[in-house]
């Protein structure tokens, strides 16, 4: 069974510590992030990738 979760980030760079902590504590197959409020260039892809 595939597990999917959503997270309303409301500004990914300002809430990055909370997001990475949550990602490290969860075991979902797919995570959808809402309200990133950042450009592609400023998205913290490496930090999110490292969090799992």
What is the domain partition of the chain in residue ranges? 4-51
Contact 51, 19 (CB under 8 A): yes
Q: Which of 23, 22, 27, 25 is nearest to 3 (CA)?
A: 27
**3-47: per-residue pLDDT in tens?**
999 999 999 999 999 999 999 999 999 999 999 999 999 999 999
CA distances from 44 to 11, 16, 23, 37 (A): 11, 8, 14, 12
Q: What pLDDT score does 18 carry?
A: 96
Is the pLDDT confidence value at 52 over 90?
no
Q: What pLDDT score does 29 carry?
A: 95
């Amino acid at each position: 069974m595939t597990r999917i979760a959503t997270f309303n980030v409301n500004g990914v760079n300002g809430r990055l510590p909370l997001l990475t902590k949550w990602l490290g504590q969860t075991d979902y197959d797919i995570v959808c992030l809402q309200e990133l409020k950042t450009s592609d260039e400023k998205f913290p892809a490496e930090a999110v990738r490292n969090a799992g």
